[in-house]
Structure 1
Amino acid sequence: MKHQSKLMLLGLSTTLLFAQCNPQKSNEGSTEVVLVEEAKTPTLTKIWETDAELITNESVLYDESTGKIYVSNIEGEPSGKDGKGSISIIDKEGTIVNKEWVSGLDAPKGMGLANGNLYVTDIDQLVEINLESGKISKKYPIEGAGFLNDVAAFESKVYFTDMNTGKIHLLEGGKTSTVAEGHTSINGIAVDSDGSVYGLDGEGFKMIHLDGTAMLINKNVTGGDGLIILGDGNYLASRWAGEIYFIDNEGETLLLDTKAEESNTADIGFIPSENIVLVPTFFKNKVVAYKLDY
């Protein structure tokens, strides 16, 4: 009797196992196996760094049309009108191609590309540099500017921030205007493909509407410097002191912390086709590249 019971139990177990592995259709519908993929933790992996010859480099900008990487170097004081500032060009392997492509600037910081020009903030003016000649073609002084910082270009529009006054300015059609204000210590700025403006200020990471309102997206990453829009609700934000964060609708993840090394993470750049983050290290005088996996 025991032997027969064991056979009956074994048969029942085999039937249940077969049913679990081979879902059958029934009159009430079909059974489907749904595989849920675990969320991947984003990471940064160092891949190269330049020689330490880019003195007080503050911002990095990748030009997708040419493969060139522009680097702004303050060299002197961040607010000093001393003519020591410059723009360098490096390649995607970290080689310094032209250390002083443009010289004679004061304290260049954020950069953007539009209208065949490179635009760079320089304390209290926006400087226009012709990409083909490397010559300064025009300067746009901003009345009352205290500390012009980051730049974001969208089509023919060039947005740029003033960290001291909390304003966002716009260059369009050869004229400058103020399009937003009241954003304390605003620095990093980026524009999405639909023209939406995002910024990093003392309150955190926010979408900035040009009607005077704003929507706070993340209140933890305050005082941010560089801002990258990855798409699908994902973003990168750097803090100058040495932190880079991945931000999504779940919150923020600290990807990089170089504070102990006294290596800064200023206005970061990005190579979209290769998911490479370009980090200007400020006082370490080099750009470091990291592969982003997310």
Structure 2
Amino acid sequence: MKKNVITYFSLMSLLSFWACSGGSKETVKEEDELDNIEELSPSLTLLWQTDDVLLTNESTLYDAETGKIYVSNIDGGPNEKDGKGFISIIDKEGNIIEKDWVTGIDAPKGMGISSGKLYVTNIDEIVEIDIEQAKIIKRHKVEGAKFLNDIDVHNDKIYFSDMETGKIHYLLNGELFDFAKDQKNINGLRVAPDGTLYGLDGQGLKKYDEEGEYEMVNEAVTGGDGLIIIDDHTFIASRWQGEIYLIRDGKETLILDTKREESNTADIDFIPEENILLVPTFFKNKVVAYKLSY
């Protein structure tokens, strides 16, 4: 059963505007009004949250073809090979459809879908799941891997990050390749429709070329976790500690801060047709959904 929730709006821009104007009712110039409208966005409205039975849930993945939302649950330490991890399925209203959809994983984190298969990072391997069978069909061992984390897919190329070794790899036709190295604390990955890869690491948000070289998009949101591409100049990035930012034209705006509630914001995902942000809360053991206005 979903719990009652309240609405969250960011008011910092509005307060800043009145502080600067002294609360005056004098007419402002049209361009000032337009600037203020820009300052007031973006905002988030809390929609729903699941029951707190998704154990140490780290990542969410929305499947546009089926409407299902996959959730990876570590249920233990993030680098412990204990076989306790599992994948759940929830719907777009926050109902848990199948809590133990696939089990027998150690510490599942990032997920991606390609050709009817769900690929999941699992410490030092990529777990390949046949979605129709709901069954693990292959485990791709990654030599030298220590802490595989996020994953994203473009066609049949499965990109994934190793946070501890600072590398980005990809899996293609069953073979493993290196893409970039020396990416300190690399975590969140997202591929644009044209195949361009973006990543979050200790330096900030990066845009990679085909050779694994990068240019900086934003240097303020360092140590990011989940990454979403809205368009080629607008992104959403989360920090695990409880922060979510909208980055537009390289400038960041904090749109959610749940650190005081000790509610984490891990590997987020997005339902684009409804502007719904999906937030796995890790130790809070639930997924929370927000409506994004921007």
Deviations 1:145-194 (A, max 9, x none): 01000000011111000000111111111111111111000000000011
User: Which region of structure 1 is more displaced relative to structure 2, 249-258 or 222-231?
Assistant: 249-258
Structure 1 residue 232: Cα displacement: 4.1
1:286 equivalenced with 2:286 (yes/no): yes
The equivalent residue for 1:154 is 154
User: Which region of structure 1 is more displaced relative to structure 2, 248-257 or 53-62?
Assistant: 248-257
Separation in 2, partners of 1:45, 1:243? 15
Q: Is the 8 A contact 1:185 1:202 kept in 2?
A: yes
Aligned Cα RMSD in Å? 1.5
The equivalent residue for 1:11 is none
Q: Is the 8 A contact 1:180 1:210 kept in 2?
A: no
Larger radius of gyration: 1
Compared CA separation, residues 237 and 78, structure 1 to 2 (3 A): same
Q: Is the 8 A contact 1:57 1:280 kept in 2?
A: yes
The equivalent residue for 2:48 is 48
Q: How many residues align?
A: 262
Deviations 1:184-207 (A, max 9, x none): 000000000110000000000010
Q: Is the 8 A contact 2:217 2:250 kept in 1?
A: no
Name the TM-score, length of structure 2 as normaliser. 0.87
Structure 1 residue 209: Cα displacement: 2.2
Q: How does 1:1-294 map to 2 (within 5 A)?
A: 37=34, 38-39=37-38, 41-249=41-249, 251-294=251-294
Match of 2:52, as an amino acid? A
Name the TM-score, length of structure 1 as normaliser. 0.87
Separation in 2, partners of 1:170, 1:267? 19
Separation in 2, partners of 1:75, 1:210? 36
Separation in 1, partners of 2:204, 2:53? 33
Separation in 2, partners of 1:84, 1:250? 40
Q: Is the 8 A contact 1:86 1:104 kept in 2?
A: yes
Match of 1:246, as an amino acid? L
Deviations 1:7-44 (A, max 9, x none): xxxxxxxxxxxxxxxxxxxxxxxxxx99x854251011
Separation in 2, partners of 1:210, 1:148? 21
Compared CA separation, residues 283 and 163, structure 1 to 2 (3 A): same
Separation in 1, partners of 2:245, 2:96? 27
Separation in 2, partners of 1:200, 1:232? 16
Q: Percent identity?
A: 59
Separation in 2, partners of 1:266, 1:250? 22
Deviations 1:28-70 (A, max 9, x none): xxxxx99x85425101110000000000000000000000000
